[in-house]
Amino acid sequence: MSFIRTIALFILTALGAACSQQPAIPDNTKITSVYVKKQDRKLYLLNGNDIMRSYDIGLGFAPAGHKQFENDGKTPEGTYFIDRKNPNSKFHLSLGISYPNTRDRAFAEAKGKSPGGDIFIHGQDPKKPAQSGDWTAGCIAVKDHQIREIYQLVPVGTPVFIRP
C-alpha cells in the first residue's frame, strides 16, 4: 500500500510542477522588449505586444519613485537598454541595465551627487538564504532558475521599460 501511495504522490507532484510551469517559448521567438511594472512586482518578456513570460520580482530596498542618487535604494524608472551580460555575477547571472542615462547624470550632477550605477536584472545572492521582497540596492531580482531563462532569451540591446 505504501508503494502505491508513493507512486501516486510522485505522479501528483510531477503533474503539479508541470502545470505551474509556463509553456515553452518557440526557438525562433525573439524577445523584443522587457517591461517592468514596479507596483505589481512583475517583469514581462515581450515579443512585440505579446507577453512571452512573466516573473515575480524584488526591487531596491526603497522602491517607491525613480532612482536619483547612489545608495538611495530605488530602482530606476524610465526607458533603458540591456547593455551587457555578466556570466560571472555574484548574483548567479545578470543583465546590465543602461542606468544612468544622460538625463539621470545631469539631474544628479545638478544636485552635487552621484547617480549611482551598476543596475542589473539578476538572480539570488548565493551567500545568503533565498531572498524575497525588496532587498536589492536598486536592481531587479528574480529566482536563479528564472535568471537563467532570461539570460538566455534577452539579447544585449533589448529595450527595458521600467514603470512605477
What b/e readout covers 78-112, taking b as 16+ CB neighbours within 10 angstroms? bebbbeebbeebebbbbbbbbbbeeebeeebeeee
Average of per-residue pLDDT across 30-35:
97
The pLDDT of residue 17: 40
Q: Is residue 4 part of a domain?
A: no
Any idea what the CATH number is for the domain that residue 67 is in? 2.40.440.10
Residue 2: per-residue pLDDT: 43
Global confidence as pTM: 0.83
Cβ-based neighbour number of residue 158 at 10 Å: 19
Instruction: Count up the domains in the chain and report the number.
Output: 1
**What is the bridge-based pairing of β-strands 159-163 and 78-86?**
antiparallel
Residue 8 forms part of a structural domain? no
In the structure, what pLDDT confidence band is assigned to residue 110 with cuts at 50, 70 and 90? very high
Give 133 or 33, the one with higher predicted confidence.
Answer: 33
Q: Which residue has the higher pLDDT, 99 or 28?
A: 99
Higher pLDDT, 11 or 51: 51
Q: Could you check whether the bond before residue 100 is cis, i.e. omega within 30 degrees of 0?
A: yes
The residue range of the domain holding 130 is 26-163
